[in-house]
Amino acid sequence: MTKEQLGNLIIASEDMMYRVAKTLLRNDADCADAIQEAIVKAFSGLHMLRKDSYGKTWLVRIVINECYAVMRREKRLISLEDASTEGIFLQQGLIEEGDYSDLYEAMSRLPKETRLTVTLYYMEGYRIKEIAALMKTTESAVKNRLMRARARLKEELETEMEV
């Protein structure tokens, strides 16, 4: 991949990088810092990319690593401000259209790895195999995280509806 191709990939992936960063970090300034660092590292480490077809996955992994670096530096709590699993919960009648605050609150209580898995799967449309590679885990672990997350979110949202 050339630097020009990487630049085009970065431009095409801006929104995706922001959503991934926002899943792990609390505020926009931290997201911007992580994304900027990821872009710098992507350009400086371009020679390490083995196949051009893995460019997007490689870029996401760099963003995730930079988000973790920001969290380590600032020792902040992780919260989810922007999730897009609402479609599933709308269909199941667990949330009302336009009001996702209960979903966001429930998502923020998930462990960070589970929250990231849910975001990559439902928001970004990554396949389970790709998520496993990105998160350096097994496909079974990804499936289990998704299953546990759905069950926990469903339970919490049903409890909220009863109150």
Domain residues of the chain, as ranges?
A: 3-74, 86-162
| Whether 161 contacts 94, CB under 8 Å | yes
pLDDT value, residue 99? 52
CA distance 64 to 108: 17
- The continuous run of DSSP H or E covering 29 comes out as helix 28-44
User: What's the pLDDT tens digit per position in 79-97?
Assistant: 343 344 445 554 444 444 4
User: What CA–CA distances, in Å, run from 64 to 16, 41, 138?
Assistant: 12, 12, 17
Cβ(25)–Cβ(64) under 8 Å?
no
List the structure tokens of 54: 């893995």
CATH 3.40.50.2300 fits 3-74, yes or no: no
Residue-wise pLDDT tens for the chain (163 aa)?
888 999 999 999 999 999 889 888 878 888 999 999 999 999 999 888 888 888 888 999 999 999 888 887 765 333 343 344 445 554 444 444 445 567 777 887 888 888 889 888 887 788 899 899 888 899 999 999 999 998 998 888 787 666 5
CATH class of this structure's domain 86-162: mainly alpha
Of the candidates 10, 69, 19, 16, the one whose C-alpha atom is nearest the C-alpha of residue 40 is 10
The whole-number pLDDT of residue 119 equals 82
